[in-house]
Structure 1
Amino acid sequence: MSPPNGLKPKITTLLVDLGGVFFHPEVETKLATAESTVSLRRLMTTSIWMNYEVGKLNEDECFAQLAKLYRFATEDLANLIQKFRGSVNYDRDLAAAFRAIRRTSQVRIFLVSNISSNDYQALRERWDDEFWSLFDDVFTSSMLGVRKPSPRFYTHVLRATRSNPQTIFTIDDNPENVLMAISVGMRGTSCIADLPRTLANITSDPVERGIAFLKRNAGRFPSVTQDGAEIEENYAPLLILEALQQRSLVDLKFPPRLWNFFSGPPRYTTETYPEDLDTTSLGLAAMSYDPDLAHSILDEMLTYVDEDGFVQAYTDRTRPRIDAVISLNVLVAFTLYNRTYELPETLAWITSILLTRAYIGGTRYYPNAEWFLYYVTRLLAASEGHDAALDERLFAPLRVRVAERVGAPGDAFALGMRIAACEYVGVECAVDREALAAMQMEDGGWPASCMYLFPGAARDVGNRGASTAFAVRALGGRAS
């Protein structure tokens, strides 16, 4: 049975390779032969070396057969191996990451390695107990008489550890070994880069870590451009507030009437920036308003509808801008106050966009399809209980369009919105939940992936707080 958040069962056992993970042998080292040279890597991929690793040949037999096959001096290989045994060290930072996993979780860790008995014994003697105590047990090819990636190796480990393969994650720099492990029901990776982050993500609860990140940084979630410039703005905090309904997470100052996108100095635009209908609509949806004030704001917003019946983005009539996502957001605000009927042309346009998939390439300010589809779900949610006709008009085509997006490429913020949309229309999206969980960073938050654009300045803007809030909600959490 899958967990409530749609993720796979929790990892309780780690199988970790030795060479290529904790240390990186210099396998490209060359031995001189009668004709040329041969690398240690080549020698280690021969059947002779493999027989040595499973105990079918002793060390002398292995070295002699390789020397004869490649025509080099036996003592040259013996000296090279002896040198490696006397100098190889393990990655202490990585060992510390595994030690932290042992302290903070109930995960068992087993070392699994293709290694000869002589090489293994040399490492046991060279490395201290601080390293070997990381593991609940060790399984080597020389102990089992079989090498990875043979399924017999993994079957033995499963039986010996009494583990459910669905709760095992294997870490191995050899993709063939990982493929075999996955084929017998485990999960795993051959990507050794950024392993501490991977360890945190596969052994901890993503929602708990995400909520801890949000609370730890409450009120301090700057929006940033792709080149790291910070922007003080209101839209991202309002998104966080609407997603998790926790006022303590954000620092927002309630305006007298309409909202301005910027909470600080405007960036990448004019020095004076007008209030906008987009941020105002989100404010009306995310925060509690006196009904009379809300209706008076909606009345004012209607004065910015053009001759086609479409809502303008700004309160500055010298900036005529129309954006489908902004129009949807305005519709949400009007629908919350049972006034959808006042924007019939905008609603008809939004419906046409949904039916024709015109949203696929994003809009002027919002770069992906998920913004539009997620905002349609907000519109339908706003209409619940008082506009059955809107649900009848949009729900069925929306469900089809949302299902079409499952498994499509997307960054953290896009996946958070996609999963929320899937949840609303009842579409399964386990593949997207897994992808989103894997994007979690070591500190528990998600990256500041692109949320919206400043098209005139060619800048995209992200916010780690907003990405994390949507991820937490998508994976089943609330920042209570």
Structure 2
Amino acid sequence: MATDLVYPVCQSLTEKSFASDIEKLSLKFPTTTPSSSFTVNTETATNGTKKSKIHTLILDLGDVLFHWTGKDLQALSPQDFRAVILSSTWTELECGKVSEDKAIESIGKELSLDPNAIKQALAQCRGTVRVDQELLDQLVELKKEMNGHLKVYSMTNSSKDDFALLKATLSDWSLFDGEFTSYEAGLSKPELGYYKHVIDRIGLRDPSSAIFVDDKEVNVNAASSFGLQGMVFRSPASLIRQLRNRLSDPVTRARQYMMQNAHNHISCIENGPEFRDAFSQFLIHWELKEAQYLSLSPPGASKAEIKAVIEQASAEAKTWNYFIGDPVGTTKTFPDDIDDTATALLAFSPPAASANKVLDKIAASRHPRDNLALNYFCDGRHRVCPYVITNVVRAFYHYNRGADVKPEFEHVRRILLNRGYVDGAEAYTSADVFLYFLSCLVDANPTAPEIQSLRKPMAAALRERVGRREDSVSTTARVLACQKLGVWAQSDVQYLKELQESDGGWEIGWVCRYGRSRKRIGSRGVPTAWAIKALEFEAQHQK
């Protein structure tokens, strides 16, 4: 039985054995500079033009594409069977040094086991070998999508007979451009010489252009030492997602997702229904300024109707409601709110003549004692929120009326300096979203000294949060905020790329939440739009 199909072999290896391998083989490790992004499909030729880059995928077989089960073993206990296939003699068999009969006889003596029982156990396991056809089909499709720019090779620890079994189990091997086996190489993973053998046979000049997939960390570690992009196999879905993210341009895929879902970037309640809201559309448009993705209209509206509403939002200011249509998950009636209204002014920037009337209405909607802008245009809801107030300050400064929101600005400043945002707020869960809103204020007002006084404490606050692995909205918000203020966040950029789904969009992130039920409200459109802006910024500033 191929050890690729059974158990990890890392226990049998030591640092000393690795060092010995290096000395024996006099290996010269590639001195390539790791790519800052695994997702670029082109490289610059000597004449300055772009040419397609050939990528290589080196794929383990056992416990990745092929599987078996030892659940019903009868001839040997699972512990004894494991001891058999982890023995040094079994490794010799996989390297083609001994025959299976001699190996079984020798192992029987080593472990005091009946050779016939070992043979029966092997036969029982071999009878359960199967191929993951769904994963195979997805890999074939991925290779097809790469349009000739992906070579796929298998690299397995397998005896001659076991590999013949795999060949018989899978009738169509057209996915692979070549197959490498331990019995032919006379070496097995994670021996360094096996990797060098494969690299040399493939003719791989740039190891960083190759991805190595294996279910065992020790094998991936060895591959990474040569500069290969190591990937530990966790699940088929995770593998396909990671491969797409590394092989394809993330921005191109994200824009395709946004266009495929144009006019339908809806939100959803945590463990609840989907619905249409205006706020997510404003957040998308603020960063991308591409109205073709948006809809501020109810379901069933025609393209002409959708376009007309969006054009009206740019032509004339008004107060806005969070919901497009009837409220969902809250009270039957829901008032227009100041957060949506302020964000709409920022996203669409209607003329000052109409915007000032709306700003006057916001200025008149203040807490009777705290003198801060409220959340709602409603006398019965005297609630304030630092996130909402930040967007109010942004809107007033956008229309050169910063002097009208001095109390609000001072409140936001104190929240920042005293870290009053770290636990979120009634309607927001993410501290990073607060810092994002505030970074937009700082970025948009370079000549306002009172606003620029926030730049240094803002940068310090962001540095405190870089490296946190949170949801897609928090991550994209933090990356954008860092980019606007010039704060290093490369680790977050790399993590952001990992959150991209196979369909090109980002996984759901939590934009805000209901004040009463505390249920979060999620979106895929918002983090995808924000990721596009963040990754485009990164690409532009790497040139």
Q: What is the TM-score with the length of structure 2 in the denominator?
A: 0.81
Mapped partners of 2:180, 2:196: distance in 1: 12
Find the counterpart in structure 2 of residue 381 from structure 1.
443
* Contact map agreement 1:220 1:250 (CA 8 A) in 2: yes
State the 1:158 CA deviation. Answer: 2.5
Match runs of 1:14-33 below 5 Å: 14-28=57-71, 30=73, 32=75
**2: CA distance, partners of 1:2 / 1:394:** 36
Are the aligned partners of 1:415 and 1:436 in contact in 2 as well (CA < 8 Å)?
A: yes
Asked if the contact 2:34/2:208 (under 8 Å) is kept, the reply is no
Q: Distance in 2 between matches of 1:290 and 1:219?
A: 25
For the residue of structure 1 that corresponds to 2:423, the secondary structure is: coil
Structure 1 residue 280 displacement after superposition: 0.3
* Cα separation, partners in 2 of 1:32 and 1:125, compared to 1, 3 Å: closer
Q: Does 2:466 match 1:406?
A: yes
Is 1:164 the counterpart of 2:206? The answer is yes
Which shows bigger deviation, 56-65 or 8-17?
A: 8-17
2:387–2:437 Cα contact (<8 Å) kept: yes
* CA-CA distance at 1:179 after TM superposition: 2.7
Shift of 1:178: 1.9
Which whole-Å CA distance do the structure 1 matches of 2:281 and 2:191 have between them?
52
Structure 2 residue 500 is matched with structure 1 residue 440: yes
TM-superposed CA distance for 1:278, in Å, is 0.4
Q: Deviations over 1:137-189 (max 9, x none)?
A: 22222122222122322233233321423222222111221233234433312
| 8 Å contact kept, 1:52–1:59 | yes
Q: Check conservation: 1:2, 1:8, Cα contact below 8 A.
A: no
Q: Which residue in 1 is equivalent to 2:524?
A: 464
Structure 1 SS opposite 2:131: coil
Residues 30-70 of structure 1, C-alpha deviations (whole Å, 9 max, x = no match) = 4546xx77543332111121121112222111111122233
What is the TM-score when the length of structure 1 is the normalising length?
A: 0.92
Give CA deviations for 1:117-156 in whole Å, capped at 9, x if unaligned: 221133334432x2x2211222222122222122322233
User: CA offsets, 1:374-407, max 9 Å, x none?
Assistant: 01111113313x424421x011111121122111
Please name the residue that 2:361 is paired with.
300
Cα offsets for 1:7-39 (capped at 9, x unmatched): 346482211111101111224554546xx7754
5+ long unaligned stretches in structure 2 = 1-32, 42-54, 297-308, 539-543
- Does 1:176 pair with 2:218? yes
Match of 2:392 in 1: 330
CA distance in 2, matches of 1:98, 1:153: 24
Equivalent-residue separation in structure 2 for 1:224 and 1:28 (angstroms): 41
- Decide whether the 8 Å contact of 1:151 with 1:180 is kept in 2: yes
Contact 1:416 1:471 in 2 (8 A): yes
* Residue in structure 2 matched with residue 121 of structure 1 by the alignment: 164
CA contact (8 A) 1:55 1:145 kept: yes
Offset of 1:80 from its aligned partner? 4.1
The CA distance in 2 between the partners of 1:219 and 1:134, in whole Å, is 38
Q: What is the rounded CA distance, in whole Å, between the counterparts of 1:38 and 1:179 in structure 2?
A: 26
* Aligned-partner residue type, residue 400 of structure 1: A
Match of 1:229 in 2: 273
The yes-or-no answer on 1:103 pairing with 2:152 is: no
Is 1:363 paired with 2:363?
no
Percent identity, aligned pairs only, is 29
Structure 1 unmatched ranges of 5 or more: none
Residues in 2 aligned to 1:455 and 1:150: alpha-carbon distance in whole angstroms: 58
The CA deviation at 1:427 is 2.0
Return the offset for 1:417.
0.8
In structure 2, the partner of 1:136 is: 177
Match for residue 245 of structure 1 among 289, 292, 298: 289
Q: Residues of 2 paired with 1:21 and 1:464: CA distance?
A: 30
Check whether the contact 1:31–1:40 (CA below 8 A) recurs between aligned residues: no
Query: 1:266 maps to which residue?
Result: 327
* More RCO (CA 8 Å, sep 6+): 1
From the superposition, tell whether residues 163 and 83 of structure 1 become closer, same or farther in structure 2 (CA, over 3 Å): farther
CA distance, structure 1, for counterparts of residue 221 and residue 443 of structure 2: 43
Q: Which of 53, 56, 69 is the aligned partner of 1:13?
A: 56
The reply to whether residue 154 of structure 1 matches residue 195 of structure 2 is yes
Whether 2:42 is the aligned partner of 1:42: answer no
Task: Measure the CA separation in 2 of the matches of 1:325 and 1:276.
Answer: 13
Cα distance in 2 between the residues matched to 1:83 and 1:319:
70
Taking a change above 3 Å as real, the CA distance of residues 164 and 135 of structure 1, as seen in their structure-2 partners, is same
Compared with structure 1, are the counterparts of its residues 439 and 94 closer, same or farther at alpha carbon in structure 2 (3 Å cutoff)?
A: same
| Mapped partners of 1:29, 1:181: distance in 2 | 34
RMSD: 2.3
Residue 277, structure 1, aligned to residue 321, structure 2:
no
Contact 1:99 1:134 in 2 (8 A): yes
Match of 1:65 in 2: 106
> Structure 2 vs 1, CA of residues 38 and 399 (structure 1 numbering), >3 Å: closer, same or farther?
closer
Q: CA deviation at 1:473?
A: 1.7
1:301 Cα deviation from its structure 2 partner: 0.8
SS, match of residue 224 in structure 2: helix
Establish whether residue 88 from structure 1 lines up as the match of residue 129 from structure 2.
Answer: yes
